[in-house]
Amino acid sequence: MSCYTARMTPVLLCLHGWGGSKESFTELRAALDGSSLTMLTPDLPGFGAEPEPPEPWTVENYADWVESWTRKKLQNGDGTEAPVHLLGHSHGGRIALALAARGNIPLRHLHLCASAGIPHRRMLRRSLGWMLSKTGSLLLSIPGLRRLQPIGKRVLYRLFRVHDYEKASPVMRETMRNVQCTDLRPLLPTINVPTDIFWGTDDTMTPLADGKLMHRHIKGSTLHVFPGVRHRVHRDRAAAIASVILNNLDSRSPHP
């Protein structure tokens, strides 16, 4: 039995973005040092030290994994569970939204940092890029063109700005396609836990309009906007986010 669950110390569960790892929360961990909570930062499957999933996953598969991983960390021998403050950045935000909508963990508060979950036209462009990249790979496999294959693949991928796709394994490529095409907007009105949303005005990965939309549809949520900040809001404004988390933290209140 974990010592923090025995005291029912609140837990801050942080889910990193695509291509990240638990190290993505180095600044936030430092900003929260000495606080009365336990910070959990798992590497999600396919990133950091965690092996890839055995087959292409969806957002729901990631939510299943996080739910199982979290329950193992939280549960006491007497069946009680520590209250959870859940934070997700980008892809981790997708998973956090799915978990909050499910309501299967003792969630006290939700924190979204430049969360993904709303498809955009540029994702259609990426999908087209993936298809053309595959077609281009077939063309480059023709005898006489094979020697151009390594350079040709890189040009095709970069033309459509799919660098992550270029680096990923076949399983993670399909996983990327699955999660990026998932529209989580229908889940937003079903989230009934207090929610804080953090966004940078200069975010080109997940535009501020997404944060405003989430704010409108998650009842009672609070939107925090940071001028001049891009997609790394969880790192570049870690101190401000930590302050909000600590203000929301009340370990004496029982979980409803």
Quickly state the pLDDT bin for 90 (edges 50, 70, 90).
very high
In a domain, 152, yes or no: yes
The whole-number pLDDT of residue 88 equals 98
Residue 91 and residue 31 share a domain:
yes
pLDDT in tens, 183-211: 999 999 999 999 999 999 999 999 999 99
Residue 127 and residue 115 share a domain:
no
Residue 98 and residue 30 share a domain:
yes
Q: Coil, strand or helix: which one is 14?
A: strand
Chain centre distance of CA 200 = 16
Q: What is the mean pLDDT of the chain?
A: 83
Quickly state the pLDDT bin for 3 (edges 50, 70, 90).
very low
CATH number of residue 41's parent domain:
3.40.50.1820
The whole-number pLDDT of residue 100 equals 98
Residue 196 and residue 165 share a domain:
no
The two three-digit tokens of residue 166, written as one number = 């270029």
Range of the domain at 167: 121-176
Residue 48 and residue 139 share a domain:
no
Neighbours of 165 (CB within 10 A): 18
Listed in sequence order, the residues at least 6 apart from 134 whose beta carbon sits closer than 8 Å to its beta carbon are: none
Quickly state the pLDDT bin for 132 (edges 50, 70, 90).
very low
In a domain, 254, yes or no: no
Whether the Cβ atoms of residue 165 and residue 176 lie closer than 8 Å to each other:
yes
Burial of residue 34 (number of CB atoms within 10 Å: 0-12, 13-18, 19+): exposed
Q: What is the mean pLDDT of residues 55-82?
A: 86
Residue 101 and residue 40 share a domain:
yes
In a domain, 70, yes or no: yes
Whether the Cβ atoms of residue 97 and residue 191 lie closer than 8 Å to each other:
yes
Residue 231 and residue 142 share a domain:
no
Model pTM above 0.85: no
Quickly state the pLDDT bin for 249 (edges 50, 70, 90).
confident
In a domain, 31, yes or no: yes
Q: What is the total count of domains within the chain?
A: 2
Residue 216 and residue 160 share a domain:
no
